[in-house]
Structure 1
């Protein structure tokens, strides 16, 4: 297993070196895969000097910008909003931009690999199209009948609270790719799609709840959930994903929503 390292400048002033006293040495163990070079997956160790209060994303940036520019991963806002940097860190789905090095035991190698259940395109990048297709299939938008209103569609605070939790989804796929059912059957809609259906099924302004329920009543729909709570544990936004799935199941049985 190769171990690239970042060499220190021998001419660094002593004052600058003293400012590095708070840094620690850690090992990032990254799963590498480049189909243009080889079909084999490799694990590469990178030794870094980092502030323990920095994030895993900062460590990945350091690798890419200073050690190995071929490392490939997705990221955008770096503030836990875009959801693009979901990956498996020490065996758990997390956002790299929200995971502090000090919180994942930097004394041992920190393993970083792509989320499971989706085809890996290169290194930490997966093909998100099946995930987004399931999202599109549940019609994640407001559907109403009649003429377009001349003013906003008002809603009470109580009606809004009914689905407020599921509006927090950022489509990072952390919940869906933590699901054992999804790993074994890529046709399953997955927790994220059900959460986004929930957001509109229980919206008092929407009029397509029955349609969405019928979509999720499919053999690859909501009944495939085995209530393992992996999805709830993986959600970086704290959404009660399993609870939302159970509420959709209940709505299917009672047709009350």
Structure 2
């Protein structure tokens, strides 16, 4: 199925002044569509979009939804790479649509857009995130302490903070977890994102539930399922060294030092 439309150029587009070339190019967006109310099978649909190559894939999806096909369904929120809502597979790789520029994707060829893998597709590019968030909740991603409520802040040295600084960057986009072949084949695996968020508290000097979290991750569906393929690290839009964090959790389980 193919859809083509001519979009009105935005008001900010330069008028065709003599000798001034338009910055717009025509790009083919090839999107995997799925509507359970229509069919049990997904299909590919092409859209021809006039767009500035310096714009993002998210901008292209907006043009399609607003001007061509309002039924196109996808998640997005802040559009600045912070909320993690718009993770999807773009040209076969997990990325955030709001951080992926058209010019970086070889726009001379169709740009393929499909939902992330390993999670049930609800409609078009939207997947059921509940299993992902359940794994996140299971590792108790919050500070746990004992005793009486403190009368002043819990102080921490810069060195202690640095110990887990990298894993505080997670935005729960699921790009790492849905790039993991172990997760594709067994949805019971906690997945990289849950382990990263457990790491953030296991190595926090103020927390007192490290042992408890380690026992949770020592389960058959826990950290030992990792096969160190580095897919997760490559997929992370925040540049977190996920594979390194997983190895540190494994080491803590063996040595009980953290």
TM-score (norm 2): 0.95
Distance in structure 2 (CA, Å) of the matches to 1:199 and 1:35: 38
Paired residues for 1:205-220 under 5 Å? 205-220=206-221
Paired residues for 1:44-55 under 5 Å? 44-55=45-56
Instruction: Tell me, yes or no, if the aligned pair for 1:27 and 1:48 is still in contact at 8 Å.
Output: yes
Distance in structure 1 (CA, Å) of the matches to 2:185 and 2:229: 14
Determine the structure 1 residue equivalent to 2:44. 43
Distance in structure 2 (CA, Å) of the matches to 1:217 and 1:168: 24
Secondary structure of the residue that 1:25 maps to in structure 2? strand
Secondary structure of the residue that 2:3 maps to in structure 1? coil
Q: In the alignment, is residue 33 of structure 1 matched against residue 34 of structure 2?
A: yes
Distance in structure 1 (CA, Å) of the matches to 2:187 and 2:21: 47
Instruction: Tell me, yes or no, if the aligned pair for 2:27 and 2:48 is still in contact at 8 Å.
Output: yes
Distance in structure 2 (CA, Å) of the matches to 1:189 and 1:5: 43
- In structure 2, relative to structure 1, the CA distance for the partners of 1:70 and 1:226 (3 Å cut) is same
Paired residues for 1:116-127 under 5 Å? 116-127=117-128
Determine the structure 1 residue equivalent to 2:3. 3
Determine the structure 2 residue equivalent to 1:99. 100
Paired residues for 1:67-216 under 5 Å? 67-216=68-217
Distance in structure 1 (CA, Å) of the matches to 2:109 and 2:97: 17
Secondary structure of the residue that 1:26 maps to in structure 2? strand
Larger displacement relative to structure 2 (16-25 or 90-99): 16-25
Distance in structure 2 (CA, Å) of the matches to 1:128 and 1:103: 28
**CA shift digits 1:124-153 (9 cap, x unpaired):** 000000000000000000000000111110
Distance in structure 2 (CA, Å) of the matches to 1:255 and 1:244: 15
Larger displacement relative to structure 2 (39-48 or 191-200): 39-48
Instruction: Tell me, yes or no, if the aligned pair for 1:6 and 1:66 is still in contact at 8 Å.
Output: no
* Shift of residue 22, structure 1, vs aligned partner: 1.0
Distance in structure 2 (CA, Å) of the matches to 1:81 and 1:7: 29
Distance in structure 1 (CA, Å) of the matches to 2:137 and 2:163: 22
Determine the structure 2 residue equivalent to 1:230. 231
Unaligned residue ranges in structure 1 (runs of 5+): none
Secondary structure of the residue that 1:16 maps to in structure 2? coil
Distance in structure 2 (CA, Å) of the matches to 1:8 and 1:76: 25
Q: State the superposition RMSD in angstroms.
A: 1.4
**CA shift digits 1:204-252 (9 cap, x unpaired):** 0000000000000000000000000000000000000000000000000
* Shift of residue 8, structure 1, vs aligned partner: 5.6
TM-score (norm 1): 0.96
Instruction: Tell me, yes or no, if the aligned pair for 2:7 and 2:50 is still in contact at 8 Å.
Output: no
Distance in structure 2 (CA, Å) of the matches to 1:3 and 1:206: 54
Distance in structure 2 (CA, Å) of the matches to 1:133 and 1:6: 43
